[in-house]
Chains A and B, each alone.
Chain A
Amino acid sequence: MKRLVISLLTLGMAVFSALTLHAQLAPDAGERAASPAPFNIGGNGAPPATRQKDDTAPSSPDMRVGSGGEARSRTSRYLLPMGNLRLDGERNTRAWNIFLTGDEAETATGLQLAYINAVSVMPEASRLKVEINGRSVLDVAIDSSDAQRIVRVPVPAGLLRAGANTIDITAEQRHRVACTVESTYELWTDIDAARTYLTFASGARPGRLQSLDDIAAVGFDAFGETTLTIVVPSPRDSVLGEEILYLSQALAVRGRFAHPVVSITGNLPGGSRPGELVVLLAPSPQQYAATGPDAPVLPHATFRSLRDGSTALVIAGETPEEIYRRIALIVPQNIRDPSPSSTVDTASLYSPETTFSKGASKLAFGMLGVETQEFSGRRFTTSITVALPMDFYTQAYGEARLLIDAGFAVDMQPGSYFIVSVNGRTSSVLPLDMTAGKMVTQMPIRIPMHHFRPGVNTIELSGVFRTAQDADCAPGTTLQRDPRFALFDSSSLVIPDFGRMGTTPNLAAFSARGFPYWRKESTLYVYLADQESATVAAAATLLANVSFHAQRVMPVDIVPHINAIQQQNALLIGAAGKLPPVALAQTGLAFDMPSLQESADTLLPGSGTVDTDAPLSRPGINPANAEDIRERWQKRTGPEGDAPGTFAAFQQWLRSTFNLTVDAVFPRLNTPPYSPPNGTLIVLAQGHSMLGNYTWTVMTAGSAEALEVGIKELTEPVMWPQVDGKITAFRQSTYTVDVVMPAWVDFIPMHPPELFNLRMVAANWLSSNLSSYALVMLLACALLGLASYLVLIQVGRR
């Protein structure tokens, strides 16, 4: 008997450990395999996008108007919208669009690319390729591990065209010696954004805009930013605040700028840098007549030349209404359409553009930009993007699926698997048990929609293939070009029918689609804590970015007093000390947030003016990695750190098997006001309006300057999609965000109630409030039990 009990116990333990094994595999593999989302050029290892001044760059970021330099002549056009780009793994491809004016397309002559690669990359088997509009313009061996190499190639005449041009960069890399899957993480090539650009024929004048359509050709700088320098007569008391906020949105949408940054100045610059658009916002055309000796006022045209030959946009009118009307002309026709916008504009970041999924859909890989391809390495990755509406509400229970059509040419050994990460987080692991010659059709990989969010989602599919050949690792194995795996473009992504319900607080929906503000033809109410130009600029940067993602431009009403928005959806922007306490209280922020002040104080010691390009030195080690390490240690030690005992072990098991915590089951509804952690530069927080069921979104920092710098940092394409929850604090010190998820959300229906949708909404709500489902069901069952009893005592024999 005793023996039986022991063997049963052993079996039980074995079952449980095996079950957890399955789950444990996921995070581990995720940490290794979750390669960056397209935005996340940081990835693992060294930060590629360090913002250090680089004297060799063609244009120095801190170049001021009037200062000399190569860049003033604007003979170059940056190519990397994400800033420095790291291509890692055995095959990595990125594709996006750049926009050129007709002049630029005609006069561009060459392409310069600067890269450095990891020492592990074997030059004989590794190639770096660039295609423009589908035609190869560069194909070189990756062979520069000791120093940055600059490659210059000519661009064939006629290849570029006015408007969108597709850039496609691919790195195919193999390890020098190792054949392990792990070794593929040592393979990378970094492309230096500051030295990678198009060059133009001498005498060409890139940057000259001739029509509103050319605004997209402003492009971006070496960091991927587009600076909108708005020149106003009196920046200190921005009487034109509303116009600035409206204009910023209009330009962001019209220019298809993925990361617009607004700066406000009172002086007309003598020229503009690449990626900068100077806009003159004048109450009357005459006002600028005197700004320059040779500045002709163009009464009808809306452009004028700056001293360096680049073009500035002029928005002038006698009355605010007239200015407003002129700004409205900038807004593209399709955006003015009052019907709800269900498009995303990702051309500046991805090619092909992201598909927008409004409900159940099956999207073939071919359509999503993943072509049929063969692969000879051991770790295959590819990624696709799909956009979801702002009221996407199925995160807690939904399941998308990848249906894979693939072929395997070699035996897959145990430990081979497909891993899917969504928005950079591991979502699914599927062990592979394949024999050579096996073809799979529509093999499903279930992806919990937990990490999906409104707006653009990046889904990365990786295949980790362990083979006998690699285990032997005879010399030259990595040189082999025989394909081991083929992925067919008939594979597809299946999005299930999902619940549609707007929720607040939900900063993810706000950042991705401007919810609940950017949704109908109404007015965007903005409360500014002060009239400083930095505050206005910060507000404008925020609005420009949200507007770009929402694909909608909202008229703005800057309210003078908080009482005016007591019963309104509103944005409240300002330094923490200057915002009314009620704004902080309503959004769950503490009145006293010392970390914000600290960050603001250390930000610009003694600097009076705000330079939008103020160098922000990031720590030497990858901060994301540091956070990862901390989280990994927290995971390893459990929530109580070193708390021993079976309960802790049980919690640990719950978390690893079900991603379930005790806190999730028994949530605390009364959370204390939030005070951001050290090193926080800026905080976004969402909550209730003072009265009624409206949403307030607060953006605050230690000072107006910190606000301006903070929002610029936070809106970077790599950071902005991480904005989520009811509070998001951007920690400049670690370059991470701290997200507080709401314990309770309010529903804001976007569509008339519909039974099927309500069911899915209920499912999601009950799934995200774990104990509520149990309570509701227990109650309903008790009621049904009683009702059954009432019936049963009356029917049949008693």
Chain B
Amino acid sequence: MNKAGAGLLWASVALIVAALAMLPISVQAHLVYSCAVIIVMSVLKAFRAQGPWRLIFIVLGVSIIMRYVYWRTTSTLPPTGELHNFIPAILLYSAEMYVIFTVGLNLFIVSLPPRPRECPVIARDDLPTVDVFVPTYNEERALLAATLAAARGMDYPADKLTIWLLDDGSTDEKTNSDDALTSIAARRRREDLSRLCEDFGVRYLTRAENKHAKAGNLNNGLAHSTSELIAVFDADHAPARNFLMETVGFFPGDKKLFLVQTPHFFINADPIEKNLDTFRKMPSENEMFNSIILRSLDKWNAAYFCGSAAVLRREAINDIGGFCHSSITEDCETSLALHARGWSSAYVGKPLIAGLQPETYTNFIGQRSRWAQGMIQIMLFNFPLFKSGLTLAQRFCYMSSGFHWMFPVTRAIFLVAPLLFLLFDMRVFVVSGGEFIAYVLSYMLISLLMQNYLYGSCRWPWVSELYEYVQMIHLLPAVFSVLANPHKPSFRVTAKNVTQSEDRIADIGKPFFILFAILAATLAVSIWRVFDSPHVAGLVLTVGGWNLLNLIIAGCALGAISDRRNLRGFHRIPITRRCEITTATGEVLAGTVEDVSISGAGVRIVNADGQPLAGGQPLAGGQPLRPGDALSITFRMCSGEAGTPLPMKIRSVKAGPEAVYVGCAFVATQAAHYAMIADLAYANADQWEQFQKERQSNIGLMQGTIWFLRMALYQTRRGLSFLLARSRPERNLAEAGS
């Protein structure tokens, strides 16, 4: 069937379904239909049915949502005469409809994600020239060294690759600052980094003033460079060896292509994951965006630049006069402008960089505030629906990305709505017990089913709710501030890799405890009301159940914001790399590097002949290995070259029956050492993918819900004991966390 025919068929069937869904049928008929849909959808989900089944699944879910919308609109609003009920009721109703609208956009985007892209192979001689930009503002030297080493280690013809460190931390503006401290630090930084760049054979570039933040920095890079393509890596995003080979190949064949974006893969946990201790087993929060949304946006030619881990075409960026900077999310704004000019984008699903994400709640919120404010700025300045040059699908895609960030408002309304009835007896949702089951419960169940079917491998049940709640409190003022004053927000670099030296509740956590107390008190009030006024017991229980759900999430959030101890400076990645260890006394032992970070590695050592160490006591020149001893390792690099010895210092020794495990810190003194570390840590992207795949398992709705409830209960306790421990400072804080 051709496109027009299929479209016509679709439109006419859609009209029929809409007409059927908007019939004012009885609650019984709706209940029967809901049950049928739940059964069919559960079966489809159980079989992981894809292809046409995926669309049938989505349409079934949408039909229930449409029925809910129809019913909610026609039957549940209080009479306009009761203004004290009607106004909050309309607010709640609008919030629900807004959410359903964004869900609709989202469903459109993820309706049928395209196949993963395969990068065309280009002869090495035909490869275009590439400038690699590593913009930095305040990142420390070691982090930059690792990133630059990883960039240097990328497989690409050397004559076609130029790496630039774009330093915004030691601009003339800073080095000439009237503040002595700033001035001295900036001068030292410039000196330091210039030398580092020299060692690595990397171009160092800074500029006069910090105008237009990151966008300005990148534009400055553009002005000083000439290559056809530009790869951008944030300072804490280390590329894999094959990054360019997996991305550059798309450009020669598609002259209108302006962007190849790759996912942001993080080797550390975000603060929530860290506090909930879910990093190793549960897919990270960002994976839903990186693995599913971006890939699905690519279907509609709407994958946008995410600030890093991407390759861009200089010609395209020049076409719009450089990176845009009217919003604080210059990346998405630039993409929107380019898409509107008819340029196209591509997304490669493989993780090709290893990044760090904020480790404290404060920084996490700072990052999210920037995204939220920036995306709302884009919506305000360049509302995608009316932006000329975009396809309809692209308009939907950008709207979805932008509208998403209003979630703090809707989430806050859903939090407060049950309190209005339970505490103040306001009727904002007119419903009977039977209708509640038939419409509301079925709608909720089907939403969960759809969420689990579409995103289950990347997002476990209730995790979205938790993350939104955790962000809501502090994003709410950010959202209102940008709405009130769209030009005010300015770019602030997200601090990453900030170590928590002791367990503490972020100061930012106080509102969470207050909210939790209010919700808990409301629960008590609702229990009292059930017995005190039995005539409204059904309603109180229904609304009280809603409040209980909020309370469970709020309780879980208490744990999620109570920071755990995090002593290791950099996160270790599990790897397996054969190596040779040379002790200080010159003895050569065989071993395997088992985990690595940019600051150190864990090595399992066996005897040189491969035999297990006798009695578990390793001998190095007759002497046992001891913390503080120096040693060096050599291993074959991914490029095939034999590496130089990498000096290390032993931090810890743990003896096992067949081997000894030593934890070491790198003692890197020259660029070659950093190249070795980067090769160990970042060169092999396959291992990241494997790690990601291991976590990406769909836990299922039932099991996921039970898991979440258990975790919520545990985290509530943990969060509350943190509070108690903090109020009695003499107590051992570590104890409270256990």
- A657 on the interface (CB 8 Å rule)? yes
CA distance A709 to B19 in the complex (A): 51
Kindly state whether residue A668 has any CB partner on chain B within 8 Å.
no
CA distance A272 to B112 in the complex (A): 86
Q: Nearest CB to that of A417 among chain B residues?
A: B535
Contact residues of B between 1 and 43, Cβ < 8 Å to A: 1-3, 6-7, 9-10, 13-14, 16-17, 19-21, 23-33, 35-37, 40
Q: Taking the complex as formed, is B566 at the interface, i.e. its CB lies under 8 A from any CB of chain A?
A: no
Main SS at interface, chain A: helix
Interchain CA distance A460-B298 in the complex, whole Å: 62
- A436 contacts the other chain (CB 8 A): no
- For the complex, is B627 an interface residue (Cβ under 8 Å from A)? no
A756-798 vs B, CB cutoff 8 Å, 1 = contact: the mask equals 0001101100111011011011101111111111111111111
**Minimum Cβ distance to chain A for residue B280 (Å):** 21
Q: Which of B14, B541, B710 contacts A18 (CB 8 A)?
A: B541
| Given A23-B434, A798-B115, CB of A766 within 8 Å of CB of B25 | yes
Cβ < 8 Å to B, chain A residues 378-426: 396-399, 414-417
Query: Which residues from chain B contact A11 at a C-beta distance below 8 Å?
Result: 545, 548
Note all chain A residues with C-beta closer than 8 A to B16. 780, 784
Q: Does B533 contact A (CB under 8 A)?
A: yes
Provide the bound-state CA to CA distance between A792 and B54, in Å.
11
State in angstroms the CA–CA spacing of A758 and B298 once bound together: 43
Whether the pair B538, A19 counts as a contact (CB closer than 8 A) is yes
Give the residues in chain A near B300, CB-CB below 8 Å: 796-797
A286 within 8 A of partner (CB): no
Partner of B81, one of A397, A442, A795: A442
Asked whether B111 is an interface residue with its Cβ less than 8 Å from the other chain, the reply is yes
Stretch at the interface among A258-266, A658-666, A729-737: A658-666
Q: Does A163 contact B (CB under 8 A)?
A: no
> Do B114 and A798 have beta carbons less than 8 Å apart?
yes
How many chain B residues touch A (CB < 8 A): the figure is 73
Quick check: A782 and B56 within 8 Å, CB to CB?
yes
| Min distance, Cβ A91 to any Cβ of chain B, angstroms | 24
Determine the chain B residues whose CB is within 8 A of the CB of A795 once the complex forms.
3, 393
When chains A and B are docked, how far (Å) is the Cα of A21 from the Cα of B537? Answer: 8
Q: Are B79 and A791 in contact (CB under 8 A)?
A: no
Q: Does A135 contact B (CB under 8 A)?
A: no
Q: How far is the CB of A353 from chain B (nearest CB, A)?
A: 30
CB distance from B446 to the nearest CB of A (A): 12
CB proximity of B439 to chain A, nearest CB, Å = 12
Chain A, range 294-318, C-beta contacts under 8 Å to B: none
A792 in contact with B434 (CB, 8 Å): no
Residue B433 at the chain A interface, CB threshold 8 Å: yes
Flag whether B615 is at the interface (Cβ < 8 A): no
Indicate which residue in B10, B54, B434 contacts A784 across the interface (CB closer than 8 Å): B10
* CB proximity to B under 8 Å, residues A3-62: 4, 8, 11, 14-15, 18-23
When C-beta atoms are compared, the residue in chain B nearest to A3 turns out to be: B713
Is B79's CB under 8 angstroms from A442's CB? yes
Least CB distance from A568 to B in Å reads 35
Asked if residues B59 and A785 are in contact (CB atoms below 8 Å), the reply is yes
Q: Does A767 contact B29, Cβ atoms closer than 8 Å?
A: yes
* B57 in the interface (beta carbon within 8 A): yes
Cβ contact within 8 Å between A415 and B535: yes
Question: Given that A415-B535, A431-B536, A781-B60 are known contacts, is A789 also in contact with B52, CB under 8 Å in the complex?
Answer: yes
The answer, yes or no, to whether A468 is at the interface (CB within 8 Å) is no
Cα–Cα distance between A786 and B57 once the two chains are bound (Å): 10
Chain A residue nearest to B51 in the complex (CB):
A789
B63 at the interface (CB under 8 A from A): yes
- Chain B residues, Cβ within 8 Å of A19: 433-434, 436-437, 538, 541-542
Complex CA gap A19/B75 in Å reads 18
Closest to A665 in B: B32
Cα–Cα distance between A469 and B433 once the two chains are bound (Å): 31
Interface-centre pick from A398, A760, A796 (highest chain B CB count, 10 A): A796
Separation in Å of the B451 CB from the closest CB of chain A?
A: 18
Interface status of A627 (Cβ within 8 A of chain B): no
Complex contacts, B81 vs chain A, CB 8 Å? 441-442
A444 contacts the other chain (CB 8 A): yes
Task: Check if B537 sits within 8 Å of A18, measured CB to CB.
Answer: yes
Interface centre among B2, B24, B53, B57 (most CB of A within 10 A): B24
A777: chain B residues within 8 A (beta carbon): 17, 20-21, 33, 37, 63
Assuming A22-B538, A780-B13, is B432 touching A788 (CB within 8 A)? no
Interface residues of B in 57-108 (CB under 8 A from A): 57-60, 63, 75, 79, 81
Given contacts A18-B530, A21-B538, contact A792 B433 (CB under 8 A): no
Q: Once the chains bind, are B541 and A15 in contact (CB under 8 Å)?
A: yes
Q: Are A791 and B6 in contact (CB under 8 A)?
A: yes
- Chain B contacts for A797, CB-based, 8 A: 114, 298-301
Question: Are the CB atoms of A767 and B26 closer together than 8 Å?
Answer: yes
Q: Give, as a whole number of angstroms, the nearest-CB distance from B69 to chain A.
A: 15
Interface: B534 (CB within 8 A): yes
Q: Which residue of B lies closest to A782 (CB)?
A: B56
The one of A416, A417, A766 that contacts B29, using a Cβ cutoff of 8 Å: A766
A20/B52 in contact, CB under 8 A: no
Query: Which one, B6, B28, B32, B56, contacts A790 given CB within 8 A?
Result: B6
Residues from chain A with a CB closer than 8 A to the CB of B1 are: 790
- Closest chain B CB from A41 CB (angstroms): 32
Cα A795 to Cα B302 in complex, Å, equals 13
B28 touches A18 (CB 8 A): no
Q: What is the minimal beta-carbon distance from B173 to any residue of chain A, in angstroms?
A: 44
Minimum CB–CB distance from A367 to chain B (whole Å) comes to 21
Say yes or no: is A631 at the interface (Cβ < 8 Å to chain B).
Answer: no
Minimum CB–CB distance from B120 to chain A (whole Å) comes to 15
A1 contacts chain B at the CB level, 8 A cutoff:
yes
Q: How many Å from the CB of A92 to the closest CB on chain B?
A: 26
Q: Is B55 an interface residue (CB 8 A)?
A: yes
Collect the chain B residues with CB atoms within 8 Å of residue A399's CB.
Answer: 75
Closest-by-CB residue of B relative to A793 is B112
* A601 within 8 A of partner (CB): no
Residues of chain A with a CB closer than 8 A to B37's CB: 774, 777-778
From B33, B530, B540, B548, residue with most partner A Cβ within 10 Å: B33
B-contact bits for A153-175, CB 8 A (1 contact / 0 none)? 00000000000000000000000
Q: Is the CB of B32 within 8 A of A771?
A: yes
**B-chain residues with CB within 8 Å of residue A4 when the two chains form the complex:** 709-710, 713
Q: Within the assembled complex, what's the spacing in Å between the Cα atoms of A577 and B710?
A: 73
With an 8 A cutoff between CB atoms, is B606 at the interface?
A: no
- A658 contacts B31, C-beta separation under 8 Å: yes
| Nearest CB in chain B: distance from A760 CB, A | 7
Give, as a whole number of angstroms, the nearest-CB distance from A198 to chain B.
48
Q: Is B438 an interface residue (CB 8 A)?
A: yes
A628 CB–B CB distance under 8 Å: no
Report whether B28 and A776 are in contact in the complex, using a CB–CB cutoff of 8 Å. Answer: no
Q: How far is the CA of A290 from the CA of B64 in the complex (A)?
A: 80
Q: Are B57 and A785 in contact (CB under 8 A)?
A: yes
Instruction: Give which listed residue, B28, B53, B114, contacts A796 with CB less than 8 A.
Output: B114
In the complex, whether A433 has a CB less than 8 A from a CB of chain B is yes
Q: Contact between A767 and B538 (Cβ–Cβ < 8 Å)? A: no
Closest to B81 in A: A442
The answer on a CB contact under 8 Å between B709 and A8 is yes
Q: Once the chains bind, are A781 and B63 in contact (CB under 8 Å)?
A: yes
25 contacts between A and B (CB under 8 A): A4-B710, A11-B548, A15-B545, A19-B433, A20-B433, A21-B534, A396-B26, A414-B533, A660-B28, A762-B23, A766-B23, A767-B25, A770-B32, A774-B35, A777-B37, A778-B37, A785-B57, A785-B60, A786-B52, A786-B56, A789-B51, A790-B6, A791-B7, A796-B300, A798-B114
Given contacts A22-B432, A23-B433, A787-B13, 19 further A-B contacts (CB under 8 A): A1-B713, A11-B545, A14-B530, A14-B541, A20-B433, A396-B25, A397-B29, A433-B536, A657-B437, A658-B31, A660-B28, A665-B32, A770-B32, A781-B60, A783-B13, A789-B52, A791-B3, A791-B10, A797-B298
- Chain A contacts to B: CB under 8 angstroms: 1, 4, 8, 11, 14-15, 18-23, 396-399, 414-417, 431-433, 441-444, 657-660, 664-665, 759-760, 762-763, 766-768, 770-771, 773-774, 776-778, 780-798
